[in-house]
Each structure stands twice: as C-alpha cells, then as structure tokens.
Amino acid sequence: MGIGIGEADYAGQIVEGEDGELVLREKQGAKLELGDLVVVDNERVKYICMVSKLEYGSLIHSDRILTSSGSMLEGVNPRLEFPDKDLRIFRQVHVKPLLEVSSEGGKQLARAPRSIPEFMSKARAATAQDFSFLEAPRTSVFIGNIRSGSKTLPVEFSMDGERLLSHHVLVSAQTGRGKSNLVKVLLWEAMRHGRFGVLVMDVHNEYFGTPASPGLKDHPDASRALVFYSRSPPPGQQLLKINLKSIDPEDLMGVVEFSTAQEETLETLRRQHGSGWASALLAIDEEDDAYKKSKGTIRALKRKVCNIFNLRETGAGYECADGVFDLGGMGEETINDMARALEEGKVVLIDGSSISDDTGLVIASAALRKVFDRYDYYKSSGILGEKAQVAVVLEEAPRLLSGAYGDNVFSRIAREGRKFRIGLIAITQLASVIPREILANIGTKVIMGNEMALERKAIAESAAQDLADFDRIIAGLEVGEAIVSSIFSKFPVPVKVPKFEDLAARGGKEGARPLNAPQKRYF
C-alpha cells in the first residue's frame, strides 16, 4: 500500500516496540515533532501513527560522551568532537499506532490496530492520500483540517451533525485557546443544513457579529436559519421581551441557589397561582399574620426573584428595570417562539451582554423546557424522528452539570436528552468538576490546549479512545489546534480549526436543505 516514495522521503525505521507503542530510529534531518503523523507501509496494510515521545539515543559509552562534552565545553580540547553524521548518535521516536488501514476489493477499510508492522519497517510522513478512507457524513459538519504536528494537511475532517449533537459535545481548553472560535465554526456549519436548532446565550455579543466584525449574521442562510433576540434588536431581528408568566419556578431550580423552605414556598405558589406565581409572590404582605412565621423566607425569596429578573418596586407596583421582563401582557409568546424556532432547525441567539448570567440561564431553561414538552409529545406520537435535532451551547458547564444547586434542565439533557433529540455543547476549562457519569455520556470531546495536568487527566480518562500517551501533546497544543475524540471516530483526530473570520469571508456555497430532504452520501 505504499505511495511510491523514495529513500529520501523516509523519516525513520522501526527498531523496537509493541502493539501499544513503536520505537523508531529517526533518520537524520527528519526533525519529527510531538503530534506528527507517520505512516508505516506493509504489503497490504498501512499503519497510521502519532509521535508521542522524543528522546536521544547513543551507541557510545556515556563516560566518553561526558568526557568529550567537558573537553569541548571547557575548551580543553576543542578539536575533540563527533562527526556531524555520526551514526552512533541519533534520536529515538516513540509513536502511538492509531489506525490500521487495509485494502479490500478496491476499497480502503480502517480500524483500530490489531497487529503491528513488520520489524525494521520504514516510516514516512503522512500525506493527504493516506486519509482517503474518510467518508463525508450524511449531514456533514466541518470541524477542521487534519493536522500533523504543527503542519496542516489538505484534508477536511467533518462529522455527522445528527450524531454529533444528539450524543453531546464537550469543548475543553484553557482561556485563549480557541473555544469560542470553534463553537462559531460549528454553528456556521449547522446553519448550512437548516435542520439543527441550537440555542446560544451570546454573553459577550461575539456570535451574532457587529458592523466591524463578522458573525453568524453574515451567513448566506441567516435570513432563514438564524434568530437573534436582543433588547435593541437590529432590523429583522426580535425584541427580547419575556412575560414572567412564561417562566416556571422549575426554570430557576439548579440555576439559582434556594433553601428547602424557599423551594417549598415556590412550589406552593405555583400550585395555587399557576403561571401567576411571580406576581403572587411580589404581592405578599410579609407582615400579614398568615406569613409571620415564614417572613424571613418570603423576604429572601422576593429579593432573589427581584435580582434575577431585575425588578424594582415603584409606587405603582413592580417593574423590570432593564425592560426584558414584563408583569403585564407583553412578551407572552417569546418563550414559545424560541422553542418553535429551535424545532424548525434554526440557531437562536439571545443577547446576554446586558443581562446577568443567571437571568440568561433562566431564559434558556424556560425555552428548553418548552422544547422538552413538545418533543416528549412527538416521541409518544412516533414522529420525533422527523423533527430537527436540538442542542444548547452551555458556557457554564461545570456549575450547571455538577448539581451544585440541584438538578436542572441542562443536567436532564446530559442524562436523557439523547432520547428526545436534545443535546449539549458544553464549554469548559474545568472538565474535572463535571460528574464522571456525565463526562462518560458525552460522545464527542474536542480537546484543546490545557496546561493543567488534572484537567488533561479528567479528559483522557473519559475519552472514547486511549489518550494515555497524549498528555504532553495536549499540553502543547497551540491556539486553534485540537484533538477530537469521539465514539463516532475510529481514532483520535488531530485537527486545526480555521479562524471563523476566514470561514465567514469565504461565505457558503451550499444553502440550507429542507428538513426532510434526502441527502446523498459522498465517498
């Protein structure tokens, strides 16, 4: 299965190893680096491997090396040195076998390695041709180009959007390594299909875009695949105005910390007043004899509710200081409209730049609760498979998935959302805080640069492939570089994610497809 290369193209030769790790003697001048992809060609099979460790090798006794080094360093005998091409001194390159690719019936089949190459086989640098076995998924969501060390190959790596979003995604990295850029690329790709509804709290106003910087508003299908809610919406977008009757006490649970007494009070108010629970709470006279025993609970609960919804008391009653929430008759359909847009396969952005994080999460929780109600009905009716795959981008994944404030709609999605076609795109620096059972339930992990050993360990232990030898590789990943470990991939894929600005500048050649349109599979 060789590709007709000459001796000058080889990078090394296998001199020892086992099924989990091979050791190459590096050819002088090859200059392999951590993360490089190399290929070992045998007669009917080739092995794709990744460089995981580099070390020096020498056939010269260490005493002589130390003596010669001292002589040269101290200038005692500067003429005593080793020849430039002394074959007794070399580099040993440890490589991790990733894939075994065989050719059967004119078709290439890839699988996890079940054997090892022939002893003394030669290794070469991987090329684009070595990944011709990759198939374009049915609903292709482009993530990045396959990367060999610091070199980017002209090979696009895409995943099936249905599988990707339904089985959850974790994006893990330290600040400044490209998490937000990656999510924007994923959203841009989702909008091409018109069959993926994704809810995003745009906290820093970085997803929609501005006149000075590109965003999802610049997508060719933005008019039919994007909805933006804001206090000051641009032309064609939606006003963020929500009636408090649309918010259920359930939407606050797990987002805001409540005492047991406060939770019981909220449940009583909901049971007695239904959607008017908030107005009923604000109308309570704490000095009334009926509430004297629970005056402290009522007062604290009022304060929390007012803080969440930015309510202030006036002579005429309570009003929302920022105008987002309404206690009267405005904004009654906003939450329903958000849920409907998600069901229609649209990306729904909520401008969170002028509201608190907790407020935004409560809004997202309310919209997702509506989606759950709709999709639960569709599931029982046997038509769920016809509906758009829905997902939510969760910036505060550890806090909301750790159960710190109790269960919420987000942890419910993590545990059972797959049954209802609702998934998570969880973004975090601290994967170790997320419960192990939830981490294990996330099908695709996009691992970007992280210098914290504890976080690298948590990710590696829950990855779909064995990443035990990838620790130093992950620690050294540069901005935009990632390793994708997925239950839907045969190997951990090193990728380079493009800059969103470059992707937006190229525009889109494919428009969105109707939800139920047949999609051809390309090979």
Measured CA distances, 157 to 38, 141, 154, 171, 412 (Å): 18, 9, 10, 16, 30
- Tell me what pLDDT residue 520 has: 34
Same domain, 35 and 67: yes
d(CA 27, CA 66): 24
Same domain, 22 and 101: yes
> Residue 1 — pLDDT band, cuts 50, 70, 90?
low
> pTM of this prediction?
0.88
Secondary structure of residue 237 in the 3-state scheme: coil
Same domain, 409 and 288: no
Q: Are the C-beta atoms of 362 and 252 separated by less than 8 Å?
A: yes
Same domain, 226 and 317: no
> Residue 6 — pLDDT band, cuts 50, 70, 90?
low
Instruction: Give the residue-averaged pLDDT of 64-81.
Output: 78
Domain end point (choices 257, 291, 325) = 325
For the stretch 302-339, pLDDT in tens is: 999 999 999 998 877 888 888 899 988 899 999 999 99
Same domain, 231 and 375: yes
Same domain, 342 and 298: no
For the stretch 429-477, pLDDT in tens is: 888 888 888 888 899 999 999 889 998 999 999 999 989 889 999 999 9
Burial of 159 (0-12, 13-18, 19+ CB in 10 A): buried
> Does residue 147 fall inside a structural domain?
no
> Does residue 508 fall inside a structural domain?
no
Instruction: Give the residue-averaged pLDDT of 407-423.
Output: 91
> Residue 354 — pLDDT band, cuts 50, 70, 90?
confident
> Does residue 15 fall inside a structural domain?
yes
pLDDT of residue 517 exceeding 50, the answer is: no
Same domain, 429 and 307: no
Same domain, 369 and 235: yes
Domain that holds residue 286: 246-325
Same domain, 13 and 29: yes
> Does residue 518 fall inside a structural domain?
no
Instruction: Give me the percent of the chain exceeding a pLDDT of 90.
Output: 64
Where is pLDDT greater, at 131 or 354?
131
> Does residue 139 fall inside a structural domain?
no
Q: How many domains is the chain built from?
A: 3
Q: Report the CATH number at residue 471.
A: 3.40.50.300
For the stretch 262-294, pLDDT in tens is: 999 999 999 999 999 999 999 888 777 667 678
d(CA 133, CA 523): 8
> Does residue 2 fall inside a structural domain?
no
> Does residue 71 fall inside a structural domain?
yes
Same domain, 30 and 169: no
Same domain, 99 and 207: no
Where is pLDDT greater, at 409 or 77?
409
Same domain, 106 and 12: yes
For the stretch 110-155, pLDDT in tens is: 999 999 999 999 999 999 999 999 988 889 999 999 999 999 999 9
